[in-house]
Structure 1
Amino acid sequence: MTYGWNSSRGAYRQPYALDSLRKLKETGSEWIALSFYTLQANTHSTEIPFDYGHTMTDRDIEHAIKQAKALGLKVCLKPVVNSKDGIWRAHIGFPEEDGAKPYWDAWFESYGNFLWHYAEIAEELGCEMFCIGCEMVKTEPKTAHWEALIARIRTVYSGPLVYNANHGSEEGVAWFDLVDLIGTSAYYPVAKAPGESEDAMFANWLPVRDKLRRMHERFGKPIVFMEIGCRSALGCATMPWDFTHAELPASEAEQANFYGSVLRAFWDEPWFSGFFWWDWSVKLYPTEQAAADTGFDIHGKQAERVLREWYAKAR
């Protein structure tokens, strides 16, 4: 499960956060991606600040890691950079022309400093994985910069590294041979219409599976879904990334079918390493409100029952 996203300073250290982690563990999940973000000023900024009005403090992060580990959960530390102007982080970058080189150099230097800080924390606290980037599509062609950044991070973090590409752009990353796992945000639109069955969605996962198998064969690295999920709202399997259409009616079945279909499609593939579901909130809604909730959380919903059944097979 992805845990911790979009939380405010201090939230990880509240009693409700530990209650949430315990409930997460009860699903059969073995890992969390502890994911948090800082904000650069805009998509063309060259400086990434540690603004603790937005960024979780090191004290918060250490507490969450220790709580997760005390429950027997493994931790992938996943620091993310977003753009304060609200533009998706995939657009962070600069033009592809000679005059832009100093800007690219400055941004990667700042981003490297940002990652270095959290890589040290991941090493010191024994995090089992470290994510070096999430959906940073415009930066991905800068292979030499990523090579240097990865080499730098490996001097302070000794565990496996993963990069989180975005669904549909994975094949544009030429340097996947330098990380230990190939990650992607697997928000593939596997439904053609609202309310489709699990079988229909399963059929639409098969070409995705074939594509990702070819990527594994090309780079020799296992594939992991660093993000995957679907809101419990009618029609969201046609656009699993969606979080804006608040008018859609609740549909536990839509979410459950999405979960069941992708578990069926990838469970037995030896090159596939698993799922980080999006997402599990630090502060959960009351269980009796689950049927009316239209967010990504699965607590108390049909999708949680689906997941528990599949994860029970692995025990």
Structure 2
Amino acid sequence: MDFINGITFGFMNRCGEWDTAESYESLRLLKSRTGANTVILAVVAEQDTPWSTTIHYQDDWNLTDDEVIKMIRYAQSLDLQVILKPMVNVSDGTWRAHINFFDHAAPVEPTWEAWFTSYNAYILHYADIAEQTNIEMLVIGCELVNSDRRENEWRELVAQVREHYKGLITYNCDKFQEDAVTWWDAVDVISSSGYYSVKIWEKELDRIEQVIKKFDKPFFFCEVGCASRSGSEFLPNDWRFDGETNLASQTNFYQTMFAACDKRAWVGGFGLWDWKAHLYPIEIAANDNDYAIYGKPAEEIVSLWFTNNSNSTSLKEVRYDK
């Protein structure tokens, strides 16, 4: 597939919120205003607590399969590459990285086996949709840091996904975890969340480069972005950081990140975080201190970057026969 000039769309939306004129128009604006060639569609399921073993992905509040498929088809009609990203949140607010169970099962305690049984059903459900719609890539997990050590379970899931979906498969590890995942050889593309301080981009790219060389796989940042708050360029991963609105902080982050990555030919693209399905009025963009780039100076930087890097290719086309 082409170099990924992408943006994540529709995170945290619920049933009925994608199948609206407002959401379709938002996706159209995503492409026309930024020049993106890829959209990452974020579908969210939830589990009740970090130690729950049931993942709710077909409840009344979840996005319906029909509206997910319709949004994929609309993105394709806009000539956008589509990456489908099923994600897990924890209903009590705990970050998904802290989902965890005993490595050695104990009576009456929840287990990794039970969790993966539920999780695999969730991912395979969207693998079928990915195959049906012939999208470019499926993300089989995002920032599930404590599960990363469960190598056998992840390898088994990849094998199962390949029975359902013939396109590219990636796993989106968390920041600083690129060299902790031991099973990168099982997927087609390595990806991570690049929420790195503007002070350390060069150092972290040096570290990630060694992982890419070791596994000889394409790489892109499946998530990367920064809130428009004072100080967020130094702590871009902290979505709860309570800085005052500062558009320059977000701009500084994007300028630094793009400049650092531009020196590395192995960086195959970006899934910027993020673009809302329901946009705030552009007249109040300067008052928004979240990660969105719509109507902010960072959007202009993104548009310029995407436009100047629209013809490069780096991710191999890989399709598997059933």
CA–CA separation in structure 2 for the residues paired with 1:157 and 1:284: 32
Match of 2:207 in 1: 211
CA contact (8 A) 1:4 1:12 kept: yes
CA contact (8 A) 2:198 2:256 kept: no
**Aligned-residue offset at 1:233:** 1.2
CA contact (8 A) 2:102 2:112 kept: no
Q: Are residues 1:304 and 2:299 paired?
A: yes
**Aligned-residue offset at 1:265:** 1.0
Match of 1:10 in 2: 16
Match of 2:96 in 1: 89
**Aligned-residue offset at 1:269:** 2.2
Unaligned runs of 5+ in 2: 1-6, 311-322
**Aligned-residue offset at 1:49:** 2.6
Match of 2:240 in 1: 244
1:111-148 Cα offsets, whole Å, 9 max, x none, are: 11111100000000111100000011111111111111
**Aligned-residue offset at 1:93:** 2.2
Give the match's secondary structure for 1:69.
Answer: helix
CA–CA separation in structure 2 for the residues paired with 1:52 and 1:34: 19
CA–CA separation in structure 2 for the residues paired with 1:102 and 1:18: 41
CA–CA separation in structure 1 for the residues paired with 2:270 and 2:56: 30
TM-score (ref. length: structure 1): 0.92
Q: Are residues 1:20 and 2:26 paired?
A: yes
Match of 2:121 in 1: 113
CA contact (8 A) 1:224 1:275 kept: yes
Amino acid across the alignment from 1:46? T
1:40-96 Cα offsets, whole Å, 9 max, x none, are: 121112222334333211012011111111111111100111222221111212112
CA–CA separation in structure 1 for the residues paired with 2:258 and 2:241: 26
Match of 2:262 in 1: 267
Give the match's secondary structure for 1:12.
Answer: coil
Q: CA RMSD in A?
A: 1.6
Q: Which residue of 171, 178, 184 maps to 1:163? A: 171
Amino acid across the alignment from 1:255? Q
CA–CA separation in structure 2 for the residues paired with 1:242 and 1:137: 16
**Aligned-residue offset at 1:189:** 2.1
TM-score (ref. length: structure 2): 0.90
Amino acid across the alignment from 1:227? E
Match of 2:151 in 1: 143
CA contact (8 A) 1:32 1:74 kept: yes
**Aligned-residue offset at 1:211:** 0.8
CA contact (8 A) 1:128 1:160 kept: yes
Unaligned runs of 5+ in 1: 192-203
CA contact (8 A) 1:39 1:51 kept: no
Q: Which residue of 276, 282, 290 maps to 1:295? A: 290
Match of 2:51 in 1: 44
Amino acid across the alignment from 2:19? R
Q: Return structure 1 stretches of 4+ with deviation > 6 angstroms.
A: none
1:253-300 Cα offsets, whole Å, 9 max, x none, are: 111111111111112422111100000000111111111111111111
CA contact (8 A) 2:103 2:112 kept: no
**Larger relative contact order (CA 8 Å, sep ≥ 6):** 2
Amino acid across the alignment from 1:224? F
Q: Which residue of 249, 252, 258 maps to 1:257? A: 252
Match of 1:74 in 2: 81
1:222-269 Cα offsets, whole Å, 9 max, x none, are: 2211111001111111111222244x2221111111111111111242
Larger proportion of helix: 1
1:6-31 Cα offsets, whole Å, 9 max, x none, are: 11211111111111111110201111
Identity %, equivalent residues: 37
CA–CA separation in structure 1 for the residues paired with 2:272 and 2:62: 22
Quick one: structure 1 residues 292 and 149, their matched pair in 2 at CA, closer, same or farther if it must change by over 3 Å? same
CA contact (8 A) 2:224 2:271 kept: yes
Amino acid across the alignment from 1:127? I
CA–CA separation in structure 1 for the residues paired with 2:253 and 2:309: 20
Match of 2:4 in 1: none
